[in-house]
Structure 1
Amino acid sequence: MRGIGKSFLGVRVLSGVDLDVTAGEVHAVVGENGAGKSTLMKIICGVHAPDEGTVEIDGRPVSFGHPLDAQRSGIAIIYQEFNLLPERTVAENVFLGREPVRRGLVDRAAMEQATGRLLDELGEHSFGPRDAVKRLSVAQQQVVEIVKALSVNARLVVMDEPSAALAEHEVELLYRLIGRLRERGVAVVYISHRLREVFDLADR
């Protein structure tokens, strides 16, 4: 991101912001409430368009008119409020809106196999693709959100205060998952006000 500026109703929220993130890196974005962290991330993820400046991927300027455009470019965001349907299974949530079809019907086996592979890659074996999301802990639901991101081949995952709703013992799982993302060459932008986590996890 180069020289990003954004105003809402005449109020300047971002001014001249530069941000570089590289593959396999955890980059922390830290600041008090109202500093503009979420607005910056929403520009990366196609929710808002910048008033000034450019966004580039691999050195090429990109322009996102919709979050789906950002997703197709390999950018995913995990909000504090998860975007999951509790009555559906893990696999159904991971492939929601882009279900594989075979002979005119949703291919549940393909969805479950793909979801299972991603859970294996993350080292998560405490639940499976057929489990209902409503039966999962908050930390496990966060895993589902990360699997969703990986299922669309995300190259950059933005995490907005990911530990805010987690118990102390669940934060260890989050650390492990972020380590796995880093090993896969996925870039992570980690928004937090918890400095211990920032110094534990962030490369920059």
Structure 2
Amino acid sequence: MLKTLIRKTKITYFSRRFADCGKDIKKTWYVIKEVTQPSASPRKLPKSLNVQNQLFLDKDQVRHQMTKFFAEVGKTTALGVVPSSSSRSWKQLLGPSCAKSMVLESVTEQELIIMISSLNNSSSDFHQIPAKSIKQILPSIITQLCHLINQSFKLGIFPQRLNLARVIALFKGSDREDLGNYRSISLMSVFSRIFENGYAKASAEFPGR
């Protein structure tokens, strides 16, 4: 009973806060940050790492080696790929170009609500903002969010800050000192996923127009 009352009171309070923001996007983001209040504890690093038979015990050195490994893993993997024996360039492998320009139809608030509702509640981003929190405040931000996405369609610009991600290392098993036993995961912004879902829907509908 008490929890229900507290939740309703918070919803009423923050709904008023969002209403006071009006169309001021900057103030809206400040309130969103206040609502979410990230408090998740950081993931634990291994106590030591063995890199090419060199043992690292210092916490900063362990962090540096993991960062270096994941930053270079793509380049290292690419060096091991055997070049194609084909003499054709990548341009020759492409199909005919599209003569018509691609136009994305605006997303509606109702479509956006359906997309956001389908997000996993437990998923969170590098700001530790869970999707569940976005769903709770959605009635207060849906108009502004829909406007931002449609402006992105219209101008052909994806917000630069939504490209930021927090890369974390997940231990797969076996020896914790072996970097090969860790898998990197990029935590994108929840809002980045919402924008991407909007793009995906509009792009999928374009060929049928």
Greater share of helix: 2
The TM-score normalised by the length of structure 1 is 0.23
TM-score by length of 2: 0.23
- Relative contact order higher in (CA < 8 Å, ≥ 6 apart): 1
